[in-house]
Amino acid sequence: MPTMVHLRPMTVHDVEAVAAVVDAADRAAERRPGDDYRPPSDEQRGVMDRGTRRFIERDPAGAWVADRDGEVVGIAEAIRRGPFWGLSMLFVHPSAQSQGVGRRLLETALAYADGAELRMIMTSSDPRALRRYSLAGLDIHPAVNADGVVHRSAIPAGLPGRAGDEDDLDLVERVDVSLRGSRREDVEFMLATGARLDVIDSPDGSGYVVSRSDRVAMLGATDERTATALLWRALAQAEGKAHISCLTAQQDWAVRVALTARLSVAPTGPLFVSGMERPPGPWIANGWYF
């Protein structure tokens, strides 16, 4: 008898299985030379598990698993923030890939987008993912990642701004309104799980950047000059290596910062967007919360 895969809502009992599917799919993914598989650190695993729990609690209609005889072989997690919908995760275990499971999971996660005006997906470069997201009607925006060790001598002196905290969430909300919409509750969650916040709040421009270990995790600003200063602030604090994900043509200002810092810039999976002609400019997306 052929094995059946059925979809069901994700529950807190699936948290470990979700991490296992993501890890197995990541381990099997085709990579560029030098971009070897690295198992998640304990910190990354902790953030992943807390993030999964939050998807289940905050966005239950967007959190699904594909179940094959009691074994989780695929997962989808999507968020909804008012008129915004974003696909945060879509992973199928290598033993179940290319059998239509990803298509079914995406269809279910897309039901959560009903009535949304804006949709986004930050993807890997897996051609199957690109096919799915393009067929779902989103527009492709090619992207690069930046990685490497920041050249300390390139960091501009006298950068404006200061370290931020929960008291700056009003600023976060104010700045994001003209970008893709408020990320306030997600920034609050990221801070609660150990991320760092830096802000600039001046009459000439305002904005914020969230970073975690060596990653620039999210950025929003009123203008590119403020965004540039914020990115430098984040890079100045990176210990050892720094990583910035998913910079599209709208983030050319960030590519220039990365190159001046002597990070390597290389193609990665694109950003898919619908409901907006192009991604916002003085903005860096977060893979889960955009």
Does 115 interact with ligand COA (rule: CB under 6 A)?
Answer: no
- Choices 55-63, 92-100, 160-168, 190-198; region in contact with ligand COA by CB under 6 A: 92-100
- Of 6-25, binders to ligand COA (CB under 6 A) are 25
Q: Which of 47, 101, 116, 261 binds ligand COA (CB under 6 A)?
A: 101
Shortest separation between residue 22's beta carbon and ligand COA, angstroms: 8
Q: Give 134-202 as a DSSP string.
A: HHTTPEEEEEEEEEEE--GGGSPSS---EE--GGGHHHHHHHHTTTTS--HHHHHHHHHTT-EEEEEEE
Shortest separation between residue 270's beta carbon and ligand COA, angstroms: 10
The span from the CA of 137 to the CA of 129, in Å, is 13
Give bridge partners of residue 141 from the DSSP assignment.
271
In the bound state with ligand COA, the residue whose beta carbon lies nearer, of 103 and 243, is 103
Does 107 interact with ligand COA (rule: CB under 6 A)?
Answer: no
Shortest separation between residue 261's beta carbon and ligand COA, angstroms: 27
CB 221 within 8 A of CB 175: yes
The span from the CA of 116 to the CA of 53, in Å, is 23
Shortest separation between residue 56's beta carbon and ligand COA, angstroms: 19
Does 40 interact with ligand COA (rule: CB under 6 A)?
Answer: no
Shortest separation between residue 68's beta carbon and ligand COA, angstroms: 12
- Of 116-145, binders to ligand COA (CB under 6 A) are 123-124, 126-129, 131-132
Does 237 interact with ligand COA (rule: CB under 6 A)?
Answer: no
Shortest separation between residue 67's beta carbon and ligand COA, angstroms: 14
**Continuous segment of H or E residues that includes residue 57:** helix 42-58
Does 86 interact with ligand COA (rule: CB under 6 A)?
Answer: no
Give bridge partners of residue 209 from the DSSP assignment.
198, 219
* E strands in the chain: 5-9, 63-68, 71-81, 84-92, 118-122, 139-149, 162-163, 196-202, 205-212, 215-221, 241-247, 264-274, 283-284
Q: How many CB atoms lie within 10 A of CB 249?
A: 13
Does 109 interact with ligand COA (rule: CB under 6 A)?
Answer: no
Does 283 interact with ligand COA (rule: CB under 6 A)?
Answer: no
How many residues of this chain interact with ligand COA, rule: CB under 6 A?
20
The span from the CA of 164 to the CA of 154, in Å, is 24
Tokens 């993912």 correspond to what residue?
129
In the bound state with ligand COA, the residue whose beta carbon lies nearer, of 260 and 274, is 274
Does 70 interact with ligand COA (rule: CB under 6 A)?
Answer: no
Shortest separation between residue 117's beta carbon and ligand COA, angstroms: 22
Please report, as ranges, the residues that interact with ligand COA according to CB under 6 A. Answer: 25, 29, 90-92, 97-103, 123-124, 126-129, 131-132
